[in-house]
Amino acid sequence: MTPTQDRPALDRLLSPRSIAMVGASNSPTRIGGTVFGNLLRNFPGEVYPVHPKDEVVQGRTAYRSVRDVPEAVDMAVIAVPAPAVVDVVAECAALGVGGATVITSGFAEAGPEGRALQDRLTAVARETGIRVIGPNCIGYMNTHGGVMANFMLTPDQPMPEAGPVALVSQSGGFGSYITNKAVLAGLRLGWFVSTGNEADVNVAAVLRHLVERPEVGVLLSFVETLRDPEVFVDTARRAAELDKPLVLLKAGRSEEAARAAMSHTASIVGSAQVLDAVCRQYGVFVASTMEELLDLGTIFQDGRRAGGDRVIVMTSSGGAGVLLADEAGQAGLSVPELPQDEQAALAADMPMPFYGSTANPVDTTAQTTAMPDAYRKVLNKVAASPSADMLTAVTWAGPGPANDAIVEMYQTTTKPVAILSTAWSPQFQQAGVPTFTDPCRAMVALAALARQSDRGPLPPDPAAFAADAGRVRRVRELIAEAGTETTLLESTGKRILAMYGIPVTREEMVTGEDAAVEAAERIGGPVAIKVMSYQLPHKSDAGAIRLGLRGPDAVRAGYRDMLDEVARRAPGAAVEGVLVQQMAPARLELTCGVQRDPVFGPMVAIGLGGVLVEVLSEAVLLRPPFDVDTARAALGRLLGGRLLTGRRGLAEEEQRAAAEIMTGLATLALELGEIAEIDVNPLRVADGALLAADALIVVNHD
């Protein structure tokens, strides 16, 4: 065993010090020839071709098999026909190879036989500890380590310039497409990894590995299926901790996978919403287009951060200024008017008569742009303005003194800069000036940068969550009362909610008219009465509810009438008792609950409730665990913020109460994995307090 074997296998796989390639070819048009040619380009260590017949491959002595290679290499690239792959990987593992990059196709994507082959490959990785990228991938590139283990370029094409940006893509084809675009856009890509079928290593694992590498400053990712959500969340937390932006482009958003949905609120969430919510919670940027993925890479690659959200816009066209200011506002940035003294200083450099503006947007007019000295002075003053945290300037691509001045300004200031240009320009790319070709895209990028610069505290670590064992035992006793029933009685559900600090209506479970009357008197005021029966989870459909009963006579009459109606309409229903319940007033009704996403597990949702729940479908989602501040911030996003700012919206203490209900639900969902679904609807809001008036809990007895 060589010393390099002391490193973790994934590290050996992605940063090898020696490489073998099984399936290396002398033919430049074959994949095995292209990949081997690429391996030879920049790699400082040994690269051993393995070939069944040829003595020499592309100038290197070839070996008959991996066994014959003179050392246990860190990484083997494998490009042999699919049926041979598993044995080669197993052989590598036995020889102490760290990892394999399997280029070959014909696995899970090719039907049941391929699926079986891939399962065997997964098993070899699990059993031996060798790490495997692929199969059916385009390979990877690690420019810092000189590794070009891929066929996304041919050996005669120029290498991307090494830099802080890492791109991880499940899709090899589209990953290399994005790489191509990224290089055109001036991104300095230090890493590109395609994971293909993900028999072993997946996107989350690669991101988790790369986030720790010092040369990586920005992580971009394109995924179709997000596997290993815990690793993904952990990566996101770590990326936030290290202040390395993580940007995700997700395909397959429209697929509405089989997914446990909340009974009353089936329309509230789709899984793309869950992904978006989780990403937002953990500070991951979700790019809505491929170009946005690259735009965020562009703004983040120089590592600059902003002290606030104030943008200064400099342009020689009033129209462009107005459009940029619009887009800034749309993206959530501010474009403050400059104070008089700054404006006077700018005006002093403008040619006379001056028909532009010094307010912000600073409109220099075309006349100033044509005067190199004036333009340079104004630009540098603008960049130095204490009234702005970021700078946008508009220019035309092509050489000239204005663009020279922009490069000089960029190199002088430490503020984030986004230049709007008619096209990419070699001059800007060489100098690393972040360049955008559309006003909206420039501002979306700056807004992301402002968000990254203003990160709050790290969200709680899911791994650190500790359950309250005593409470869990008590809840399980209550659940046990339901026997094999999966939907708990409302009365039971509310007792459970109360154990997590969720305020519920005052209520008593009774049998008989007299007991109901007595309970109503103890509760006080008008009451509701409801039949509790496992067969009647939707009470109003069976007439199993009476509302607003005031006084003994009304309670008595309502009780009799209700039980008669239930006996008539649902003769088979076994009545467990009658719940006598306080009538809760409401200025506003909310609905909240828990549902389990097939990828991310339990998610707490809160949204508008009441009669409009059928026609509305807006909710915010949070993944447990989270703290009260996070919950309050989430409430602030409901209805575009109007739930808090609207005249009848939530008051301060109501917001706190709602946030505490959300954290209570979160703890409940984490403590009891068997709870499949919770639906609190309505959650009645009045006079500074919230009250759960109905609750449905569904358990999974498996």
- Minimum distance from residue 615 beta carbon to a second copy (Å): 4
Give me the residues paired with residue 78 across strands.
22, 102
Alpha helices of 201-303 — where are they, by DSSP H? 203-210, 229-241, 271-281, 290-300
For strand 165-169 and strand 218-223, is the pairing parallel, antiparallel, or unpaired?
parallel
Select the residue interacting with a second copy from 116, 348, 366, 574 (CB under 8 A): 366
* Helix (H) or strand (E) run with residue 579 in it: strand 577-582
Nearer to a second copy, 25 or 105 (CB): 105
Write out the two tokens for 468. 């309250």
Could you say whether residue 169 binds a second copy (CB under 8 A)?
yes
For strand 675-686 and strand 689-692, is the pairing parallel, antiparallel, or unpaired?
antiparallel
Which of positions 346-365 make contact with a second copy (CB under 8 A)? 353, 355, 365
Could you say whether residue 14 binds a second copy (CB under 8 A)?
no
Which of positions 373-402 make contact with a second copy (CB under 8 A)? 394, 396
- Minimum distance from residue 375 beta carbon to a second copy (Å): 14
- The gap between the terminal CA atoms of the chain, to the nearest Å, is 47
Which of positions 503-542 make contact with a second copy (CB under 8 A)? none
Report helix, strand or coil for 96.
coil
- Minimum distance from residue 137 beta carbon to a second copy (Å): 11
Which of positions 248-277 make contact with a second copy (CB under 8 A)? 249, 251-254, 267
Q: In 10 A of CB 227, how many CB atoms?
A: 15
Q: Kindly provide the residue ranges of all beta strands, DSSP E only, lying in 446-570, ordered along the sequence.
A: 507-510, 527-532, 545-549
CA distances from 397 to 181, 428, 454 (A): 18, 9, 32
CA distances from 665 to 56, 281, 536 (A): 66, 17, 24
Could you say whether residue 197 binds a second copy (CB under 8 A)?
no
Which of positions 399-458 make contact with a second copy (CB under 8 A)? 422-423, 437-441
Could you say whether residue 646 binds a second copy (CB under 8 A)?
yes
Select the residue interacting with a second copy from 126, 455, 648, 701 (CB under 8 A): 648
Which of positions 131-150 make contact with a second copy (CB under 8 A)? 136
- Minimum distance from residue 649 beta carbon to a second copy (Å): 5
x/- site string to a second copy, residues 56 to 95, per CB under 8 A? Answer: ----------------------------------------
Would you tell me the crossing angle of helices 112-128 and 82-95 to the nearest 10 degrees? Answer: 0
Nearer to a second copy, 396 or 465 (CB): 396
**What is the Cα Rg of the chain in Å?**
32
- Minimum distance from residue 417 beta carbon to a second copy (Å): 19
Report helix, strand or coil for 681.
strand
Total residues in contact with a second copy, by rule CB under 8 A: 72
Nearer to a second copy, 427 or 617 (CB): 617
For strand 577-582 and strand 507-510, is the pairing parallel, antiparallel, or unpaired?
antiparallel
Report helix, strand or coil for 412.
helix
- Minimum distance from residue 436 beta carbon to a second copy (Å): 10
Which of positions 99-118 make contact with a second copy (CB under 8 A)? 105-106, 109-110, 114
Write out the two tokens for 533. 């029966």
- Minimum distance from residue 320 beta carbon to a second copy (Å): 4
Nearer to a second copy, 92 or 394 (CB): 394
- Minimum distance from residue 191 beta carbon to a second copy (Å): 18
- Minimum distance from residue 580 beta carbon to a second copy (Å): 26
Write out the two tokens for 497. 């909610």
Which of positions 567-626 make contact with a second copy (CB under 8 A)? 587-588, 608, 611-612, 614-617
Which of positions 274-333 make contact with a second copy (CB under 8 A)? 288-291, 315-320, 322-323, 325-327, 329-330
Cβ(256)–Cβ(228) under 8 Å? no
Give me the residues paired with residue 315 across strands.
363
- Minimum distance from residue 149 beta carbon to a second copy (Å): 17
CA distances from 311 to 22, 374, 386, 407, 451 (A): 54, 21, 11, 19, 13
